Structure formats: C-alpha cells, structure tokens
Structure 1
Amino acid sequence: MKIVVVGGTGLIGSKLVANLRDQGHETVAASPRTGINTLTGEGLSEALDGASVVVDVSNSPSFEESAVREFFETSTRNLLAAEAKAGVGHHVALSIVGTERPPGNPYFRAKAAQEKLIEESSIPFSLVHATQFFEFVPSIADEATDGGKVRMAPVLFQPIAGDDVARAVGRVSVGEPLNGRVETAGPEQFRMDEFFREALASWDDPRDVVTDPHARYFGSELRERSLVPDDGAALGEIRYRDWR
C-alpha cells in the first residue's frame, strides 16, 4: 500500500520510512526538504494521490507557545483537508504520553489541540502516545539546568529509543484504524532524578543533579505519573544502558 510519512526526513520519520519500505510498502517521505509542506499546502495533493495511510510524525521548529500551537493546528488542518479530498482511509499521528493529564506545558497543550482536530475529523485515525526519546535526554538535562545544577523531580520516567518508537508507529500504520490511542514506552521505569544523575555521570558531565519536587519540565511541574504510560502500554526492547 502507499503510505505517506509527514516528517519523513526527521529522527523518527527517517527510521519509519526505512522500516516501511523494507516491508514492501510504497512510502513517501514528506517534508519541506522533499517539496511537501503541510503549513503552506505545497505538494500535498500530489503526495497524497493514491495514498491509503498518512502518518504524521512531524515536529514544530519552534517550542514557543503560540508558534508551536500554530504549527500543529495549521499543519493538521491542511493535512486532514487534503486527506479527505484524496480519500485517505487512515490517519496516524505520533504524540506524547501525558497530553491529556493536566497541568500541561505549552508543547503538550499544542499536541492535545492537534489530537482534538484528528479525533473530530471524518477520517479514521490512530494516535500513538510515546514517552520521551533517549535521543532527547541531553536536551532535557540542558533545559533543566539552573546555575550549573540540573534540577529534576523524583517522579517516574520511562524513556524509549527512537528505533522502538518507529517500530511501534509502523505496526499501527499497517493495521486497522484504532479510532483511539495506544501508548508505547521503554522497557525500564526509573525515578527521573536518579536516571539523570546516572546519565550525566556516564557522560563525565560535571553538573550536579539536584532532586527538587518542584522542578519544572519545560514550563510545568510534574506529578508522579505525568510522563509514564498506563498499564498495557506496548514496551520497547532497547534498554538505555545498551543504547548509549
């Protein structure tokens, strides 16, 4: 079948495109780099012609509150409209575990707005909620750094390898629409402060990790289970110690 992967040249998208092509699917890597722009609509109708499935793993170039919401809402509206015209039968979107749990940060709120548009559209859909990627661990530490100290809350944390995310999204993409969500996470659960203390030590990073129950995660305080899935999540196979 023909599958269009929006964000197909990015971290997850490039892995997903390779996996789907290996399975024999006609797969289009859609991104501004390939002349397909969901914000402007450039190249969308041509890319979606004959497509059975569209998978959106794109990401906003800016995390500023108004910019990130504008990206996901405009991109998703344009994409859903083009899919309706093309007769696409399954819309798959990658999102984040915890978007439905207040209090959310601006990025989580933008993803929740994206999901609402998908859920209210006429196109059958599946949402894949993933936990934080191993690949983003350094940037999470940098964001939490305050005066040379990395402030982390002692909440549950269950990151996942990008390869495992791509496999999970791929499985959903070739299946029947869920008209709901599925969660995926790494095979191990940690305390966030302890995880980052060990991670920074493994990098020979001199910053101290400070346990702070009020530490903010990209703008919001975390609850015990803000970032981890409910029971029944599809777990990846790659452990962080093996990945790093």
Structure 2
Amino acid sequence: MRIAVAGGTGMVGELVVERARAAGHEVVVISRSHGVDLTTGAGLDEALQGVDAVIDVANVETLSRKKAIDFFETTTRHLLAAEERSHVRHHVVLSIVGVDRVDSGYYAGKRRQEELALAGPIPATVLRATQFHEFAAQLIARVPGPVKVVPSMLTRPVAAADVAAELVLLAEGPAQGLATDLAGPEVLKMPAMVRRVARGKLVLTVPAGRAMSGGGLLPAGDFRRGEVTFDEWVAGR
C-alpha cells in the first residue's frame, strides 16, 4: 500500500511512518518540511497521488477552543477534499478516549475533527486512544524550573508506539467508523507518572476537573489493550 501520514514528522507521526515502512508500505510524509501545508492545502494534491490511505496525526498545541476548532476543521477539510480528488480509499484519524465526555477547548477541536471525518466523502476510521506514556515527559518539558504543576487526571496510559501500530493496522483494513478504543494495560494518576520521570523535581498536584479526575478519560466499554506498561516505557527511555 501507499500510505500518507499527515503530521508525519511529529512524535506520533514519526512512529507511524516507521511502523508503516517496517510493514512494507510505501510512505508519503505530509508536513511543511516536506513541502505540504495542511492549513492552506498547498502541495496536498501532489502528495496524495496514488495514495491508498491517509493516517492523520497532525496536531496543534493549544488550550484555546477557537484555535483548536479552527486548526482541526481547516486541516481536515483540506485533507478530505484532496483525498476525494486523488481517489484515496481510507481516511484514518487519531483521536482521544473521553473526547465526548470532557469539555475542554482542545477536545472541542478533536470532536470537530471526528465529525468531519465520519461525515466526509472518504470512508473513515477514528481511533480514540488514551494519553501516551510520553505525555508525562511532555508535561515536564512544558513547565520550566524545578517545580512541576500537574493536573490530577486519571488515565490508562498507552505507549505511542502501540498507538502507531494500531493506526497502521487499521489503515490496512476497511473503514470502521468509530473503532474500538485503545488504552494501556493499567490505570494510573498523572502526577504519579510525572514523579517517575521528574527525578529531583517537586511535583505539585492541581485539580483537573470532575471529568478528568473521575474517570472521564478512561475507556467506557470494550477496548484494545496496549502491550507496554508505563514502568517498561520508563525503563526503556
């Protein structure tokens, strides 16, 4: 197969590209550094020539509802329109477990992305995954200084590599609409995760809201289980 990865130079995107190539697929990386701009659509038609499936892991870091909705709506519309012109057969989107239960600005953007993909002209699959193991390290990096303030969110973290493998597996098959959630092998609190990787730093816990701290980010029904535990991921860093 010829698979295009939107956001293929990001943390998850690089893992998806690596996994797809290891599975024997031809991979097209969609990113500004590869001459394609999802926010304007520039270069998309050329990039999608002969592509069978698109895996969309493009992302924006923002807490703003407007910025999140604008980004995901714009990039998804551009992708779907270009995919229709290029006769792409399958559109795969990475989303978040609990996105329909937690009302945050970023999640509003992801919900809009899901809506557009599932109602679009290309058969689509949406994979909701829990927070990555890597999210703990990202929280540390975002806050400078020796004190780290971490929300008291409850999650079932999954390795980004497990997510990448699942996305490629889904892209290889027929569209499923909303796929079975993907979550990690154990339920953990985010402050405890951060303390495992923030050695020598003070970690302070702040409220994360009832939904995030009360299980709103956990799978509500059946889910596929990632293989790598958080301790295994920490040991392999």
TM-score (norm 1): 0.86
**Residues 20 and 138 of structure 1: CA distance in aligned 2, closer, same or farther (over 3 Å):** closer
Once the two structures are overlaid, the 10-residue window that deviates more, 134-143 or 176-185, is: 134-143
- Equivalent residues, number: 233
1:111 aligns with 2:110: yes
1:1-244, aligned counterparts within 5 Å? 1-101=1-101, 103-140=102-139, 148=147, 150=149, 152-153=151-152, 156-190=154-188, 192=189, 196-197=191-192, 199-200=194-195, 203-210=198-205, 215-216=207-208, 222=212, 224-244=214-234
**Residues 148 and 86 of structure 1: CA distance in aligned 2, closer, same or farther (over 3 Å):** same
Give CA-to-partner distance per residue, 1:103-157, whole Å, 9 cap, x none: 4110001000111111111211000111111111134467799x9574543x631
Unpaired runs of 5+ residues, structure 2, are none
Give CA-to-partner distance per residue, 1:27-56, whole Å, 9 cap, x none: 101111101111111110011111110110
Give the distance between the partners of 1:141 and 1:123, measured in 2 at CA.
Answer: 38
SS at match of 1:129: strand
Q: 1:138 corresponds to which letter in structure 2?
A: A
8 Å contact from structure 2 (residues 140, 198) kept in 1: no
The Cα shift of 1:62 comes to 3.9
Q: 1:118 corresponds to which letter in structure 2?
A: A
Once the two structures are overlaid, the 10-residue window that deviates more, 39-48 or 53-62, is: 53-62
What is the alpha-carbon root mean square deviation over aligned residues?
2.4
Unpaired runs of 5+ residues, structure 1, are none
SS at match of 1:128: strand
Structure 1 runs (4+) deviating above 4 angstroms are 141-145
Q: 2:182 corresponds to which letter in structure 1?
A: T
* Percent identity for Structure 1 against Structure 2: 34
Q: 1:189 corresponds to which letter in structure 2?
A: V
Give the distance between the partners of 1:229 and 1:202, measured in 2 at CA.
Answer: 25
